[in-house]
Amino acid sequence: MSILYFEEIEEGDEITPIDMPLSKDQVRRYAKTANMYVPRFTDDEGAKAEGLPGMIAPGVMSMGLLARMISDWNQAATIKRIGTTFRSPVLPDRDIHLRGAVTQKNETDHTVECDLWMENDDGERWVIGTATVTVPTKA
Amino acid sequence: MALEFDKSLIGQVFDETDFPPVTKEEILEFAAALGETNPLYTDEVAASEGLHKGLVAPPTFVTKLRAKKFTPENLPKFGKVGFDGGRDLEVLAPVRPGDTLTMLSTIHEIYEKTGRTGSMYFIVIRNEVKNQKGEQVAVIDHRIMQR
């Protein structure tokens, strides 16, 4: 648990990374709660029938995981805007790496701009994005 | 080259869906499925002392809302295959247990991009989410790619 104030954040700061295995069960659990319980997100055979290499994670799940990285990094941060581009299918049953960095601080409204991405073990960026995050000030 | 389609499609509301009240259980399950650790989303008691004075949903919770109609019937097809290109989410107010949300869907933009592998068409569906007080909760732009 950590709380970071605007004054403690610098441009170029790394957002605390998350390395995690993404299991098929976690994808199914997400698909179920997110009303996306369809074959491409739940079983390999069904996904293959749709021309995919196997079951994939919903794009919005990747977006949710990147948002979680921000809230784990700074529990006092509020996401105002997050945008993500789904560049390649996210295949579960392997490790994923969530990464981010602060690219800009806006003194006028105490927001910070961040770059975000999810990569695989080979450093391929499956999902990329940006976010604008409001952080509290000490003053 | 300009894309040929009925320009009056842009901005037209093609769906309005009302959702049942958001439950605490559904917020906790959504947060758990993402592995959230922030008590704002996972712990009702701790959240009551926090920023929003109560449990709120993680910011991407609104992406689980499914419109009755995902696209308008008269949407032209530009390509053979569709992909989920991405989302842009603007978060305007927190979602709390008991909120009843409504979502309005419009076609926001249609454009073409030409790359190495040929032409790609982008259809941007804008979903605007409001709560029972009429407050704007979120705007979700959904980019569908066709090729």
Q: pLDDT tens digits for A47-100?
A: 999 889 999 999 999 999 999 999 999 999 999 999 999 999 999 999 999 999
pLDDT at A23: 98
The rounded distance, in Å, linking the Cα atoms of A9 and B80 is 46
Q: Which of A5, A60, A128 to mutate to test the interface with B (most CBs of B within 10 A)?
A: A60
Please tell me the pTM assigned to this model. Answer: 0.95
Decide if pLDDT at B1 tops 80: no
pLDDT at B73: 82
Confidence of residue B2 (pLDDT cuts 50, 70, 90): low
pLDDT at A46: 94
Report residue A61 as tokens. Answer: 């799940």
Burial of B134 (0-12, 13-18, 19+ CB in 10 A): exposed
Decide if pLDDT at A19 tops 80: yes
The complex's ipTM works out to: 0.96
Size of interface A-B (CB pairs under 8 A): 94
Helix (H) or strand (E) run with residue B30 in it? helix B24-33
**Unique residue bearing structure tokens 């369809």:** A38
Which tens digits make up the pLDDT trace of B122-145? 999 999 999 999 999 999 999 999
Nearest to B60 among A60, A72, A76 (CB): A60
Q: Encode burial over B13-45: b for 16+ CB neighbours within 10 A, e otherwise.
A: ebbebeeeebeeebbbebbebbebebbbbbbee
pLDDT at B40: 95
Judging contacts by C-beta atoms under 8 Å, the chain B residues touching residue A67 are 34, 58-60
The rounded distance, in Å, linking the Cα atoms of A118 and B45 is 32
Instruction: Spell out the residues 6+ positions from residue B20 whose beta carbon is closer than 8 angstroms to its own.
Output: B100
Judging contacts by C-beta atoms under 8 Å, the chain B residues touching residue A86 are 83-86
pLDDT at B77: 81
pLDDT at A36: 94
Nearest to A75 among B26, B38, B143 (CB): B38
